[in-house]
Amino acid sequence: MKKIAVFTSGGDSPGMNACIRAVVRTGIYHEIDVYGIMYGYDGMIHGNIRKMQSHSVSNILQRGGTILKSARSEAFRTKEGRKKAYEELSKHGIEGLVAIGGDGTFTGAKIFFEEFGLPTVGCPGTIDNDIFGTDYTIGFDTAVNTALEAIDKIRDTAAAHDRIFFIEVMGRDSGYIAIECGIGGGAELVMVPETTTTIDEVVKSLKGLRKSKTSSIVIVAEGDEEGGAAEIMDKVKSRFKGEDKEFKVTTLGHIQRGGSPTAKDRILGSRSGMAAVEGLLKGESNCMAGIINDQVIYSPFDACINKSKPLKDEYLRLQELLSI
């Protein structure tokens, strides 16, 4: 293998740049050419491909976002789109791919590999941490720390005014950010898509806490079955009629996706990037380079996409137990 290409796809996450840097420099170390594909699968289709040098990735390790940009591509969902992408890659003589992203990225990579046989290894880049085959995903640690900084500030004002705050964190299908913020931020309640918490239960807990606390924080993962934080707050508020209690809502949103990556995310991105390139050179393909128990493990894309990574029961219990 003498020429490989790297791209980022789906939602960006802090540490993707560290991963790109590791891919480029590991490739150069092994004397292979590394190309960067701009805008993910869309750029592949449009031939937006450029050769990377060691200096192309200078001074990016500490930056959030992705220098290769990201996009969600409708065209790549079609057979014609994928054929066009393969033709563009062939024009550059690309013999292997490194795909940095989440389950949508790996679903595309798996289909592409099955159709055209181009060896591909993935790196887990998403703030959601919802990928099987790795203990953590690149960007998760930074997102949790960013959210915690905001939650700490909200707690100050919540306590000053004896208010109940509903704070929405990201996680369309997953409660990883919510549960870690719940534990790290000392939330009274956490609502996640993986478990069912009814409005009755929320009301009961908050009313129960009135004896011991004057203010409360409820963390809601955006994908919770009862709705987003604003919707849940309205439902709960209507059950406190006649009581002198104020409710507020804050949606943290995309601030969780940006910012300088933590040390953990820089190191995870770097390890995974190096493992992806060295995996390709050793014949690994159609799989993701994750880190499990501090060891690099290559898991098939199929497992990464289809197997679930449930929240730890211990974490759910810990949050609940410490919120009394």
Residues annotated in a binding site for Mg(2+): 103
Per-residue x/- mask for ligand F6P, residues 252 to 271, rule CB under 6 A? Answer: -----x--------------
First to last CA, the chain: 58
Distances in Å between the Cα of 27 and the Cα atoms of 31, 98, 106, 301, 321 are 6, 11, 21, 22, 48
Q: Are residues 189 and 136 in contact, defined by beta-carbon separation less than 8 angstroms?
A: no
Residue type, 81: G
Least distance between ligand F6P and beta carbon 312 (Å): 19
Residues 6+ apart with CB under 8 A from 187: 151, 167, 181, 217, 218, 219, 319, 323
What residues between 11 and 70 interact with ligand F6P by CB under 6 A?
A: 11
Contact flags string 123-162 toward ligand F6P, x per CB under 6 A: ---xxx----------------------------------
In the complex with ligand F6P, which residue's Cβ is closer, 35 or 166?
166
Establish whether 128 is a catalytic residue: yes
Shortest Cβ 247–ligand F6P spacing (Å): 24
Distance CA 41, CA 33 (A): 20
- 72: tokens are 């969600």
SS3 content of the chain, % helix, strand, coil (to 5): 45, 20, 35
List the binding residues for substrate.
126-128, 163, 170-172, 222, 248, 254-257
Q: Which residues contact 183 (CB under 8 A, 6 or more apart)?
A: 315, 318, 319, 322
Known binding-site residue numbers for ADP? 21-25, 155, 186-188, 211, 213-215
Query: How many chain residues touch ligand F6P (CB under 6 A)?
Result: 9
Least distance (Å) between residue 89 CB and ligand F6P: 25
Q: How far is the CB of 175 from ligand F6P (least distance, A)?
A: 10
Residue 184, judged by CB atoms within 10 A of its CB (0-12, 13-18, 19+), counts as middle
For the annotated binding site, the residues are 11, 21-25, 72-73, 102-105, 126-128, 155, 163, 170-172, 186-188, 211, 213-215, 222, 248, 254-257
- Read off the tokens for 249: 């809502």
Q: Would you state the structure tokens that stand for residue 164, as one six-digit string?
A: 């109940």
For ligand F6P, the closer of residues 136 and 298 by Cβ is: 136
Among positions 209-238, residues that touch ligand F6P (CB under 6 A) are 222
Closest residue to ligand F6P, Cβ-based? Answer: 11
- Interface positions with ligand F6P (CB under 6 A): 11, 126-128, 170-172, 222, 257
Q: Enumerate the active-site residues.
A: 128
